[in-house]
């Protein structure tokens, strides 16, 4: 299948955008009858709607490819805290440890009150992290405050 057959090539941008929104909604499995009816009405309203929906469904289905190639995917999680020198219960902190989002020296610097070795991994794929450097400085400050709160919550468990 050629690449032109699953990107809605030639279809106006706003129609592709609508198709994407429908796909995300239908994927939620929490579609009301009213929404379903609206979807079918939209689908039938214009041949381009059907084309856009079909092709982007293909894109959506194809993106499951990441299940087979997980070694190629840049991780965006795992910053586990364990006890110094022991394998204590790891506290996965999801959402905070985005790859490339925090500067390399960030975790140990901010966790001054606990041992730096508490920080186990900031799992960054070096090949890809470069692309985030521009966004880094503007985004890591809010995360710093989140990190401090999370660490505060985690401390009772650590000790």
Asked if residue 100 lies in contact with residue 124, where contact means CB atoms within 8 angstroms, the answer is yes
**Site membership for other proteins, residue 77 (CB under 8 A):** yes
**Site membership for other proteins, residue 34 (CB under 8 A):** no
What's the rounded Cα separation, in Å, for the pair 84 and 159? 10
Torsion of CA 57, 59, 61, 67, to 10 degrees: -160
Binding residue (CB under 8 A) for other proteins from 35, 38, 39, 59 = 59
Binding residue (CB under 8 A) for other proteins from 35, 76, 108, 123 = 76
What's the rounded Cα separation, in Å, for the pair 111 and 151? 8
Q: How many residues bind other proteins (CB under 8 A)?
A: 52
| Helix (H) / strand (E) containing 10 | none
Asked if residue 18 lies in contact with residue 49, where contact means CB atoms within 8 angstroms, the answer is yes
Nearest CB to other proteins, comparing residues 95 and 116? 95
Binding site for other proteins (CB under 8 A): 2-5, 7-12, 16-17, 20-21, 23-25, 27-30, 47-48, 50-51, 56, 59-60, 62-67, 69-70, 72-74, 76-77, 94-95, 98-101, 125, 128, 131-132, 135
């Amino acid at each position: 299948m050629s690449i032109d057959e699953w990107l809605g090539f030639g279809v106006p941008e706003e129609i592709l955008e609508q198709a994407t929104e429908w796909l995300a909604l239908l994927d939620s499995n929490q579609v009301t009858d009213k929404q379903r009816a609206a979807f079918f009405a939209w689908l039938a309203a214009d041949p381009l709607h059907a084309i856009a929906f079909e092709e982007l469904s293909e894109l959506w289905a194809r993106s499951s490819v990441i299940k087979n190639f997980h070694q190629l995917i840049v991780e965006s999680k795992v910053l586990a805290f364990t006890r110094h020198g022991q394998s204590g219960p790891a506290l996965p902190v999801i959402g905070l440890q985005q790859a490339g989002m925090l500067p390399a020296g960030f975790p140990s610097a901010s966790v001054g009150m606990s041992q730096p070795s508490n920080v186990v991994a900031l799992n960054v794929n070096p090949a890809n992290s470069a692309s985030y450097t521009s966004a880094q400085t503007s985004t890591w400050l809010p995360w710093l405050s989140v990190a401090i709160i999370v660490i505060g919550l985690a401390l009772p468990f650590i000790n």
